[in-house]
């Protein structure tokens, strides 16, 4: 799932008010900069890379928290009239389930990008992210914050090739990505499936892999056999009726006074679109100038 962009600064209503929005309740700083914050003042971050959390895992942690408290402080930042969570969502949810009123936290002053980086790094170090969540986190850094794969690799402590391979997982069909996220398919299986060009074939082989319990090596052999098989020409259909195409070509020929060829866009058997194009012929610079005039782009050559 791609990350959704939500504005983190003051809203319009805050800008037009005469008085600033209320500050979060002050927190007394304790050992190593750790403070106690009210649970109801900590809100989830839109940059949180983690999405999947098993309810039973939350309940197990809540039981531990009831016995021992929250041992690892949350990372938060101050935003408007509340605190925004940077890292520690599982601990926060478990604390809420345990009905705690306060949790230990460390308040940080960071930008949107730094907040996402910290969330990614913290979750990666704790191995809390599944493969797809990790890839979506990298995509957010790439698309929203325009970071290169090299920059991402340096910030999160991963090889650039690891980041690149992770991002490629997002090219898989949604049904296959779900199985990767659940751990039913490994990163090795996913990499092999990406060797197929047609999304539908990736889905079919993913289903077969799960049904037959294929190893990565067995899947590689199967994909290699598929690649070697002679393929029939892909069926395709024009997106324009033949009669309309002939009429359109004739009208363009009359309008421009020269040969015009129209290749319509086509729909391939796999559902993908093949582009169309229009070719207008000319043989002299004067003729080009005449055509440009007809197109409203006249320039003297």
pLDDT confidence of residue 16: 28
Confidence (pLDDT) at 296: 83
The per-residue pLDDT for 261 is 80
Helices (H), the chain: 12-16, 55-68, 89-97, 112-125, 131-143, 149-156, 160-168, 174-182, 187-193, 199-212, 216-228, 242-256, 285-294
- Report pLDDT for 263: 83
Read off the pLDDT of residues 126-155 as tens digits, 9 standing for 90 and up: 667 789 988 888 888 888 778 888 888 888
Domain ranges of the chain: 27-129, 172-231, 236-294
pLDDT of 223 above 60: yes
Q: Pick the catalytic residue: 52, 59, 80, 89?
A: 89
| pLDDT in the model for residue 193 | 94
The hierarchical CATH code for the domain 27-129 is 3.90.1530.30
How does 94-128 read in b/e, with b if 16+ C-beta sit within 10 Å? bbbbbebebbbbbbeeeebbbbbbbbbbbbbeeeb
DSSP state at residue 159 = -
Q: Is 89 a catalytic residue?
A: yes
Neighbouring residues of 168: CB distance < 8 A, sequence distance ≥ 6: 191, 194
Whether 279 has a pLDDT exceeding 80, the answer reads yes
Residue 58 has pLDDT above 80, yes or no: yes
Q: Which residues lie closer than 8 Å to 66 by C-beta, 6 or more apart?
A: 98
Tell which wins on pLDDT, 169 or 273.
Answer: 169
Q: What is the 3-state secondary structure (H, E, C) of 162-206?
A: HHHHHHHHHHCCHHHHHHHHHCCCCHHHHHHHCCCCCHHHHHHHH
């Amino acid at each position: 799932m791609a990350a959704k962009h939500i504005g983190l600064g003051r809203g319009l209503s805050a800008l037009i008010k005469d008085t600033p929005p209320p500050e979060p309740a002050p927190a007394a700083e304790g050992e190593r900069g750790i403070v106690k914050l009210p649970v109801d003042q900590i809100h989830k971050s839109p940059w949180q890379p983690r999405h999947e959390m098993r309810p039973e895992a939350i309940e197990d942690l809540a039981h531990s928290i009831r016995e021992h408290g929250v041992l690892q402080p949350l990372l938060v930042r101050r935003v408007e009239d509340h605190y925004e969570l940077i890292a520690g969502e599982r601990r926060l949810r478990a604390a809420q389930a345990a009905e705690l009123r306060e949790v230990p936290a460390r308040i940080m002053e960071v930008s949107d990008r730094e907040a996402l980086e910290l969330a990614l790094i913290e979750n990666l170090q704790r191995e809390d992210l599944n493969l797809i969540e990790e890839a979506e986190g990298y995509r957010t850094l790439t698309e929203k914050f325009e970071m290169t794969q090299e920059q991402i690799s340096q910030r999160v402590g991963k090889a650039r090739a690891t980041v690149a391979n992770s991002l490629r997982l997002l090219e898989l069909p949604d049904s296959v990505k779900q199985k990767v996220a659940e751990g039913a398919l490994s990163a090795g299986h996913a990499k092999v499936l990406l060797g197929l060009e047609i999304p539908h074939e990736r889905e079919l082989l993913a289903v077969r892999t799960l049904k037959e319990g294929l190893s990565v090596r067995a899947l590689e052999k199967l994909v290699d056999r598929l690649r070697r098989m002679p393929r029939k020409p892909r069926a395709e259909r024009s997106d324009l009726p033949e009669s309309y195409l002939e009429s359109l070509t004739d009208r363009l020929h009359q309008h421009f006074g020269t040969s015009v060829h129209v290749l319509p866009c086509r729909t391939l058997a796999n559902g993908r679109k093949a582009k169309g194009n229009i070719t207008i012929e000319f043989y002299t610079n004067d003729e080009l100038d005449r055509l440009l005039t007809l197109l409203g782009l006249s320039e003297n050559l």
